[in-house]
Structure 1
Amino acid sequence: MPWFVKIEEGIVEKPKFDLHVPAHKAYVKELIANGHQARSGYWTQHGGGMMVFQAASLEEAKAIIAKDPLIQNGCVSYKLYEWQVVVE
């Protein structure tokens, strides 16, 4: 299955963002349970973060991102890329 990367930048104040972090974490755990090998984290130097995950296609990756609580609640802007792994 191809890998995808969502690079995100926070666009709301931290208190609003933090309200949706528990739901985001639960969503990532659901993705892991469903075989998407998702990982999510944030940059320590400045705002924003990244999520990597596997999906069958770009269309499925877009659908996965659309269900992320951080996206649904307007907390981040993002770019989605297919990541071509060359060394495993």
Structure 2
Amino acid sequence: MYVTNAEDLRYVILLSKVPGKEMTEELIRAHVQHLKQLDGQGKLELCGPFIGYRGGMVIIKATSFEEAKQIAEADPYVQAGVETYELRTWELSCEANNHMGMG
């Protein structure tokens, strides 16, 4: 039976633009700086905006859901109230874990 290991988990931050809120260049630069800090700490896996939808996704490594929540809430977009977020725990299926023991 497969047992989930912490290294097989990622956290997905789904960002959604709040209607009527303005994005400024300064805010965008602060958001990018936040992402660069996460990358420098080895926590950022992937990120980027959606096409055809006002928002984006950030996939991170974190030690717990609580840490992932703190990271999401530290995002300047979220702090400024121009975007909201949903946080989801994502279990990886990959060769390293034999596709969750089913491969």
Pairwise TM-score range, normalised by the shorter structure: 0.7 to 0.9
Deviation string 1:17-73 (CA, Å, 9 cap, x unpaired) is 233111000100000111103432111112111111100000110111111101100
* Count of matched residue pairs: 87
Cα RMSD (Å):
1.6
- Where structure 1 has 5 or more consecutive residues not aligned to the other structure, the ranges are none
2-side partners of 1:13 and 1:40: how far apart? 24
With the length of structure 2 as denominator, give the TM-score of the two structures: 0.76
Q: Is 1:17 matched with 2:23?
A: yes
Among all aligned residue pairs of Structure 1 and Structure 2, give the percentage whose two residues are the same amino acid.
Answer: 30
Larger Rg: 2
State the shift of 1:13 in Å: 4.1
Structural mapping, 1:45-84, within 5 Å: 45-84=52-91
- Where structure 2 has 5 or more consecutive residues not aligned to the other structure, the ranges are 1-6, 96-103
> Which one has more relative contact order, counting CA pairs under 8 Å at least 6 apart?
1
